[in-house]
Amino acid sequence: MSRRPFIALLLGLALLLTALPLGAQTPDETTIVIAQTVDVGALEPALVNSRAESNIFNHMFATVYEISEQGTLEPHLANSYSISEDGTEWTFTLNEGLTCHDGEALTAEDVAYSFNRAKDPANAFTGNTSGFVFPSIGFIEARADSELEVTIVTDRPQSEAVRLGLISEVYVHCMDYYSSISLEEAAENPVGSGPYRFVEWIRDDYVLIEKVPGYTLRDPFFEKIYWRVIPEASTRTAELIAGNVDVIANVPPDQVDAINNSGTATVKAVQGTRRMYVGYQFGEAFANEPGAEAIAKTEVRVALQYAVDVPTICTQLLGTECERAASMVNPPNGNPALEPYPYDPAKAEELLDAAGYPRGENGVRFEITLQGPRGRYLNDANVVLAIGQYLSDVGVQTNVEILDWSSEYVPRIREKNVGPLFFLGTGGATWAALYDMADLSAPDAGTNYTNWNNAEWFELWDQTAGKSPEEERELINQMLEIMYNDPPWLFLYFQPDFYGVSNRLEWTPRRDEQIGVLSATLQ
């Protein structure tokens, strides 16, 4: 081959490139583009399992009450509710003139249908509503009492805030449409009840929704929302800096400077509601593990609280400043009298000596294993290694084991087969302290991963149902004090969340890991 055809080929390619329009597509003034790491599994809210999914459905499907951007509970489809005397029946009064996206009127029948549909075993839904919300509120059935009144029947009284918060997670479907199609069709062609309606879904690429004209309960600024799926963090950052995306979630700490220096976007960090902690395993299966006997002692568990320098972990490994948690409850709902344990290794050593675990000749008090996941929480593996080192520094020889999240850690956690020390983060909320405390609602609760069994705590827990807010507050403060002094967790921090936000946007991220842009506007 002579040189000519090769040069011609190169020239051809170059011409083709220059002939094509340059520059990526940037969103116009009526469109907002949000990039998340994963796609929805299906367009069926009853199958929602992840935050990425609920973020989209929150814009497409309305709920009777809602969790506002400030984290409070506000009326939405309903304007009020009343509770039966025995506390088991909750009756919501809906606003008048509501409609579904297909134009049908939205009435109490639709709300009752949505709740019962999610519960129906024939539908075999595995989402948040059937798998978590309903068992947590003791849901029995929903019934339409009149056109605008719907009653949720439960098997027990419960804290008002907790129940209302959980009901606020149940999406309202429109009966006429959903009862006429198969589950498979429903999973591809949603007809919603919220301020945005479905337009297009290209799997693993984007979901496009557009504003519903005449939606009376909200009037968002943007006409269209693109929910793009960009799994790779560097790619999300590049798209944000290039101006093709307005909001990105999960900015890694090492990319914060690049975004802040770009001139097109900035990173907004918020203290999230996810509680990060090191659990102390009390399970019988661990009784003979090294270190298990030591951490069974309250004094040792308290001592270790002083050994870990949480603020330094935050600044060095998470790239932000954060305060140490004083309890499992998100601020400002915690017990105001409790101060977070300070970093004081000398005090930790003193308490360990007093607890009967002096340093041996080799400087070691006792050995223990700390297990943690990789790839689930912000910089998780490094945080676990740092904690291991802090504990070793006070003479507790800590062997760190890092396990893969989905294949190893999740099954072990769920089987309570992790420890004797383990690193974990569980989701919380700002709308109720009891919701945060529900991780430890019973000694055998699914989320009591430590098998902690403090009789006083669980006695008080049982007393919380159906109390007035003031009485409830008192019980909460007592319980949190019990936990502070007999900790099942080594309290760490509330995981910070980092959002990359385009400078053209006026938007404040929420604390509860939800991305809501109903109040977002252009600068």
Partner 1 sequence: MGTYITRRLLQSIIVILGVTLLAFFSLHLGGDPTYLYVSERASEQEIIETRQKLGFDRPLHEQYLSFVVGLARLDLGDSLRARKPALDLVFERLPATLELTLFAMILSTLIALPIGIIAAMRRGSPLDGGIMLVAMFGQSVPGFWLGLMLILSVGLGLRWLPISGHVPVLQPLFTGDFAAAIGNVPEAIRHLIMPGLTIGVFSLSRNARLVRSSMLEVLSQDYVTTARSKGLAERVVITRHALRNALLPVVTLLGLEFGFLLSGVVVTETVFSWPGVGRLVFNAINQRDIPLVLASVVSFSFLFIILNLIVDVLYVQLDPRIRLK
CA distance 383 to 332: 25
| Beta carbon nearer to partner 1, 390 or 449 | 449
Q: What is the DSSP track for 498-523?
A: EEEEETTEE----SSS----TT-EE-
Strands (E), 156-291: 196-202, 206-211, 224-229, 247-248, 265-280
Q: Is 407 in the site for partner 1 (CB under 8 A)?
A: yes
Report how many residues bind partner 1 under the rule CB under 8 A. 65
Q: Is 17 in the site for partner 1 (CB under 8 A)?
A: yes
Binding residue (CB under 8 A) for partner 1 from 30, 72, 82, 126: 126
Given the rule CB under 8 A, which of 155-163, 172-180, 279-287, 402-410 is the region that contacts partner 1?
Answer: 402-410
Helix (H) or strand (E) holding 494: strand 489-502
AA identity, residue 183: L
Q: Is 401 in the site for partner 1 (CB under 8 A)?
A: no
Q: Is 462 in the site for partner 1 (CB under 8 A)?
A: no
Q: How far is the CB of 238 from partner 1 (least distance, A)?
A: 5
- Binding-residue pattern over the window 194 to 223 for partner 1, x denoting contact by CB under 8 A: --------xxxx------------------
| Beta carbon nearer to partner 1, 205 or 393 | 205
Nearest residue to 277 (alpha-carbon basis) of 510, 498, 488, 514: 488
- For 199-236, b where at least 16 C-beta lie within 10 A, e where not — what string? eebeeeebbbbbbbeebeebebbbebbbbbbbeebeeb
CA distance 311 to 342: 10
Q: How far is the CB of 245 from partner 1 (least distance, A)?
A: 9
| Beta carbon nearer to partner 1, 96 or 200 | 200
Whose structure tokens read 């294949």?
407
Q: Which two tokens stand for residue 140?
A: 């029995």
- Beta-carbon neighbour count of residue 432 at 10 Å? 25
C-alpha angle 436/256/258, rounded to 5°?
Answer: 160
Q: How far is the CB of 64 from partner 1 (least distance, A)?
A: 20
AA identity, residue 416: K
Q: Is 408 in the site for partner 1 (CB under 8 A)?
A: yes
Pairing relationship of beta strands 206-211 and 505-506 according to DSSP bridges: unpaired
Query: If 0-12 CB within 10 Å is exposed, 13-18 middle and 19+ buried, where does residue 347 land?
Result: middle
Binding residue (CB under 8 A) for partner 1 from 229, 292, 352, 383: 229
Q: Is 122 in the site for partner 1 (CB under 8 A)?
A: no
| Beta carbon nearer to partner 1, 23 or 213 | 23
| Segment 500 to 519, residues that bind partner 1, using CB under 8 A | none
The secondary structure of residue 106, as a DSSP letter, is -
Q: Is 20 in the site for partner 1 (CB under 8 A)?
A: yes
Tell me if 201 sits within 8 A of 212, measured CB to CB. Answer: no
Binding residue (CB under 8 A) for partner 1 from 336, 356, 360, 446: 446
Q: How far is the CB of 445 from partner 1 (least distance, A)?
A: 8
| Beta carbon nearer to partner 1, 185 or 474 | 185
What phi and psi values does residue 308 have, to the nearest 5 degrees?
Answer: -105, 125
- Which 3-state string (H, E, C) describes 391-452? HHHCCEEEEEEEEEHHHHHHHHHHCCCCCCEEEEEECCCCCCHHHHHHHHCCCCCCCCCCCC
| Cα Rg, the chain, nearest whole Å | 26
Q: Is 107 in the site for partner 1 (CB under 8 A)?
A: no
Q: How far is the CB of 73 from partner 1 (least distance, A)?
A: 19
Q: Is 362 in the site for partner 1 (CB under 8 A)?
A: no
Q: Is 238 in the site for partner 1 (CB under 8 A)?
A: yes
Element counts in the chain: helices (H) and strands (E): 19, 18
Binding residue (CB under 8 A) for partner 1 from 154, 158, 244, 379: 244
| Beta carbon nearer to partner 1, 230 or 386 | 230
At a CB cut-off of 8 Å and minimum separation 6, what does 486 contact?
A: 298, 301, 454
- Which 3-state string (H, E, C) describes 136-170? HHCEEEEEECCCCEEEEEECCCCCHHHHHHHHCCC
Q: How far is the CB of 474 from partner 1 (least distance, A)?
A: 25
Q: Is 465 in the site for partner 1 (CB under 8 A)?
A: no
Q: How far is the CB of 128 from partner 1 (least distance, A)?
A: 6
Q: Is 140 in the site for partner 1 (CB under 8 A)?
A: no
Q: What is the DSSP track for 289-337?
A: STTHHHHTSHHHHHHHHTT--HHHHIIIIISS--PPPSSSSPTTSS-TT
Binding residue (CB under 8 A) for partner 1 from 224, 297, 347, 412: 412
Q: Is 24 in the site for partner 1 (CB under 8 A)?
A: yes
Q: Is 47 in the site for partner 1 (CB under 8 A)?
A: yes
Q: Is 380 in the site for partner 1 (CB under 8 A)?
A: no
Whose structure tokens read 């690193």?
423
| Segment 172 to 191, residues that bind partner 1, using CB under 8 A | 183-184, 187-188
Binding residue (CB under 8 A) for partner 1 from 41, 87, 138, 331: 41
Binding residue (CB under 8 A) for partner 1 from 11, 14, 15, 25: 25
Residues forming contacts to partner 1 in the complex (CB under 8 A) are 1-3, 5-6, 9, 16-17, 19-25, 38-39, 41-42, 44, 47, 49, 124, 126, 128, 131-132, 135-136, 183-184, 187-188, 202-205, 228-232, 234-235, 238-239, 241-242, 244, 404, 406-408, 410-414, 426-427, 438-439, 445-447
